[in-house]
Amino acid sequence: MTHPRQVRALATGLILFLAAAGSGTPATGPTETRSASGQFVVSTAPGNSPIPRRSPEVSTNTEILRLAAPWLVVSAERFKVALGRGLGQPADVPWGGKIFIVLHPAQSLDEPVVIAAWPFMRVLDYRVDMPDLITRARYGRALAAVLLLEMANRDAPVTGHSAEVPAWLVDGLSRQIIDSDNANVILSAPNKAVDSLSVTKSGIAMMPEGITLARSSQNQRGLDPLAAARRVLQNSPALTFDQLSWPEDAQLEGGDGGVYPASAQLFVDELLALENGPAKLRALLIQLPACQNWQSAFFAAFHDNFRTPLDVEKWWALRVFAFAAHAPGPQWTLAASRSQLDAVLAVPVEIRTASNSLPTRADISLQAAIRSFEPPRQTAIVETKLRDLELVQLRLAPALAPVAAGYRAALADFLGEGKQALARPADRHEPVRRVQADTGALLKKLDALDARRREDVARFDSKSPRPPGN
């Protein structure tokens, strides 16, 4: 087989190769799993990983995905649908090249994903070499990159020139999908079979033998897809268009505190909000193969909006100012506020009926999650819920703001006391006792706040006007 030659780096951690013509279908592993549409073919390469799967670095970090073929083919299809929806592309548009994903045992938690483009017949096929342990952000970037490449090259003549997709478009769209993951787009294989959980009106109960529980999803997504970007850009200025066009390696690796991906996500979101924005981004992709660089395709697609880079900079500066000056949105009604507060205080989990089955989603109470998990995961859940409460409180109806502030104070107190207890150089049993005591105190506070919230809801319901005749 002809060895591929490197064309360009898409971004740090993503490398694109273009093979010589006539190389045939990309080689995969001996066992293949195909997706429903047939576009994705996943195989697993043999080998061993030096990373212990049960180490705290892996098992308690929900930003690290455990990839396996049965879940990956479903996840990739869902990601493709979400990406197409974001670009306003009809779901029934035929795809061109196949995407062969080869999973290999991860050698580190930051190894790159390699994307190879292979000419086959009149299309380009793609091979994606991906570690089976990967961060959520890098996984999203890899899928977005190869899908955007396939879209760009789909109707172009097969030559030695592949489309050059701008890094800001890859990162911006992937962050939009990840941060608005309401439809369970990203699936992770279960860590291990554990005692399983069932949700009842009174709380949490044991499930029958044979049910497994995947890692909990500790990120409450969907309240505001730009929530993560908002938190970053509150403390750091957004990158300029020029900086987005030529990001440095440290920025792509997250060394700037997340300013680059936050800026890219906001930039893409604002482009999509322009009149016919999704259609113009699709036009940008279509024109990429015929252009020497993505800038030429960008200005051709957005010629109604921008003629020069200075036009983009002026528009972008105004959009950044408006983003920083305004709250996430208008205040919710009382009913919507109650629904959103309920959602924030629930913890979504994934329940599997067998070790090889796809997950189903369920919600458990915050108290049930705290009782069920070990301290590292308890802390991660509480930190996420505290951030979510800070976000939704900006839009809650005034009647529910006080109880929301009570939840915030209880979670903040727990994080402060718990971390101090773990940091103290006492005897080895003392930190455990302190954390248990702090957990017990938190649970009592949350139970009291739940009772207060139920009383508030009952009072609001009693004051609501009733339909005539009731």
Amino acid letter at 392? V
Q: Rounded to whole angstroms, how far apart are CA atoms 216 and 400?
A: 27
d(CA 251, CA 261) in angstroms, rounded, equals 8
418/403: higher pLDDT:
403
Percentage, residues of the chain above pLDDT 70: 73
With beta carbons less than 8 A apart as the criterion, state whether 388 and 220 touch. Answer: yes
- Which is higher by pLDDT, 332 or 454? 454
At 334 the pLDDT is 83
User: What pLDDT is recorded for position 12?
Assistant: 46
- The phi, psi pair for 422, rounded to 5°, reads -70, -25
| 183 phi and psi angles, rounded to 5 deg | -95, 20
Asked if the model's pLDDT at residue 188 lies above 80, the reply is: no
Tokens, residue 294: 């993505």
Pairing of strands 64-66, 32-34: unpaired
pLDDT, tens digit (0-9, with 9 covering 90-100), for 22-31: 455 666 666 8
| pTM exceeds 0.75 | no
pLDDT surpassing 80 at residue 67: yes
**Cα–Cα distance for residue pair 337/402, rounded to 1 Å:** 13
Tokens at 96, concatenated = 């061109």
Residue 41 pLDDT exceeds 90: yes
Residue range 388-412: mean pLDDT, rounded: 86
What is the pLDDT, as a whole number, of residue 16? 60
b/e map of 284-308 (b: 16 or more CB within 10 Å)? bbbbbbebeebeebbbebbeebbee
Residues 6+ apart with CB under 8 A from 252: 11, 12, 13, 167, 260
Residue 75 has a CB neighbour count (10 Å cut-off) of 23
pLDDT of res. 465: 55
Distance, in Å, from the CA atom of 402 to the CA atom of 36, rounded to the nearest integer, reads 48
